[in-house]
Chains A and B, each alone.
Chain A
Amino acid sequence: MAFQISLNFFLAFTWMFLKNSYDPITFFYGFLTGLIIIFVFRRFFSARFYLKPVFAIIHLLLVFIKEVILSNVAILKIVLKPKFDMKPGIFALPIEVTKEWEILVLSSMITLTPGTLVIKVSDDNKILYIHAMDIPDVEESINDIKNSFERLIKEVSR
């Protein structure tokens, strides 16, 4: 992915030299042209066409912002409730992502989502121990959320 992006910049600069005009607009046109060229020659690269991971990252960010807002609404409801009837607890969640940055992103996202906080990543990086605000109510839906996050993160790094 980094190789394709730098190649695209290189093509944009080549375009600027061909046009002999050095302003941002020429650079932009050169970048677009380079994008088309890379798209046409996409089967010669070992990685995917690089716009796909870029869109996956944007998708991840949007989902993340949505979940942060939802988590705040959930915390609001719990804190302002006159009586505490939640059942907190710690549960183990086996994860499939293996690279360290993926685990970092996944656990940060889990921490900022409704009702969950990561306590410990197990020593072999295969299990996350998560403190949940409300175990019986949340665990199923939480697992769904985790699956979607994990899927999105894998989509970025595939």
Chain B
Amino acid sequence: MIEEIVRVVVVILIIVGAFLNLVSAVGVLRLPDVYTRNHAASKAATLGIVSILLATFLYYYVEVGHFNARLILAMVFLFITSPVAGHLINRAAYNSGVKLWDKSVQDDLKKEMQQNSKPKRMKLSK
């Protein structure tokens, strides 16, 4: 009985994970600029991969009786590293001057960057 339920859960998890990865790929293709693409890539892909890993773990645990702790470790590592990777790509893009989408409404960071860059230039000229 429980094995049947777990099988259904495994199938659902794999389908959901593959669908999320597909959506994140479509998002990377469709969305207008680096930052919005990064939204799709860093969120949907993470949960997609994690749910596929979870399904693999459940499958091997229930069908084969093999407790594979590496899969759990991989999930934890993904959750820790993928937001940092997204943040770094965003930051590098912003620092190298990639423009926001032209329909963007607000840019607080611009002011800060300008304020910070002025005293540096004065120092250089001295």
A14 within 8 A of B: no
Name the residue among B20, B80, B112 with the largest chain A CB count within 10 angstroms.
B112
Roughly how many angstroms separate A28 CA and B47 CA in the complex, as a whole number?
A: 35
Pair A88/B90 contact, Cβ less than 8 Å: no
Number of interface residues of B (CB under 8 A): 41
Contact A76:B44 (CB < 8 A) given known A87-B104, A88-B104: yes
Q: Which residues of A contact B83 (CB under 8 A)?
A: 107-109, 111-112, 118
B6 within 8 A of A: no
Provide the main secondary structure of the chain A interface.
mixed
B43 within 8 A of A: yes
Please report the number of residue pairs spanning A and B whose Cβ atoms sit closer than 8 angstroms.
Answer: 114
Pair B90/A112 contact, Cβ less than 8 Å: no
Q: Which of A68, A91, A131 contacts B35 (CB 8 A)?
A: A131
Chosen A-B contacts, 18 in total, with CB atoms closer than 8 Å, are A68-B46, A72-B43, A75-B39, A75-B40, A78-B39, A79-B26, A87-B103, A88-B35, A89-B106, A91-B106, A112-B83, A117-B39, A118-B90, A119-B90, A119-B109, A120-B91, A122-B112, A135-B105
A residues at B contact (CB < 8 Å): 68-69, 71-72, 75-76, 78-80, 84, 86-92, 107-109, 111-112, 115, 117-120, 122-123, 127, 129, 131, 133, 135-136
